[in-house]
Chains A and B, each alone.
Chain A
């Protein structure tokens, strides 16, 4: 079973997916459950046979090099289910598409053929798979507590997606070896856990996975550092429940804010380095400037 978390804002988007495959009797890890096109991403949950056939179909129709409007991707995905999958198996797969609209903005669409004949309306947030229950619960809880995720930069989306991936990790059928696909300015990028067996992405990415996956270690650990400081900040702020927030508490919050700012700058640098490295690999230019 699975979790996919997709968030789209302005010209950026992320699709975070776990890599666990579970059957009634066993589980496996390192499964890449995404399709990474030139300017779109697809995540699927459900029957592994349907998913693999669907991804093979996407490869033959769209490949990895040319950009395509998200409407064409959705139409192809619907046509595949309609033509190639037996109706009794419609309920056994769910799909998330993250793509680019004609104005360059990113969007998320969800497709549940067991319930609907077509993709749902445009969204900025989507989650599917067994772990999505945990994500939905965490999201509702955040809304009740007034926790929001400001900002629309790639760093902000990654931070939010990882927050929810951690929530999904409470599910026994989701693991924490993640595939992290992104869209920035109409181009896709992929990084993630080094254990991932990258299959449905540009061949150069699979070839140089040993160079691309360590970037994820740094990005993920930087976000964990920010989360650590946030945890201290939330605990410090908790004294306001009794109306006892002191000047010392406020000074602590200011220090934490400064510490988080430092980590956030590091995250931006790491992300920029990763995107540049990825572009070099995609262009086939492996010589360093």
Chain B
């Protein structure tokens, strides 16, 4: 299992922008195995780790590397609070990518 410190891959900007940044940074690591990947965001700000952050992360993966989208859905997330872990699971389950033209 690979554990990545997600806080080192994002900044302090607007959450949807930081979700994009995380996706782009992750995609740039071409040798990274996503099949058993955990992203640790326990040091992340609750106001950053919102549905818009995870939606933009998944949308970016869908747009830039559709073939990795299913793997992205299966990424494990480690967060500080239990409610965050539960919410993220629901947000990712509910996410439907918007069509890209």
Contacts and interface: CB of A to CB of B under 8 A. Distances in A.
Interface of A: 217-218, 221-222, 224-225, 227-229, 231-232, 235, 248, 251-252, 255-256, 258-260, 262-263, 266-267, 269-270
B81 A221 contact: yes
A221 B43 CA distance: 13
B49 A225 contact: yes
A270 B51 contact: no
Contacts of A267: 83
Nearest to A235: B14
Given A235-B14, A258-B94, A229 B51 contact: yes
A227 B51 CA distance: 11
Interface in B46-74: 46-53, 55
Interface of B: 14-16, 45-53, 55, 80-84, 86-87, 90-91, 94, 98
A266 to B, nearest CB: 4
Contacts of B14: 232, 235
B19 to A, nearest CB: 10
A229 B81 contact: no
A262 B95 CA distance: 13
B87 A262 contact: yes
B98 A232 contact: no
B52 A229 contact: yes
A231 B48 CA distance: 10
15 contacts: A218-B81, A222-B81, A224-B45, A225-B49, A225-B84, A231-B47, A232-B52, A235-B14, A248-B98, A252-B52, A259-B50, A259-B51, A262-B90, A263-B51, A266-B87
Given A225-B49, A259-B52, A232 B15 contact: yes
Given A217-B81, A228-B15, A255 B51 contact: yes
A234 B15 CA distance: 13
Nearest to B80: A221
A228 B48 contact: yes
B87 to A, nearest CB: 5
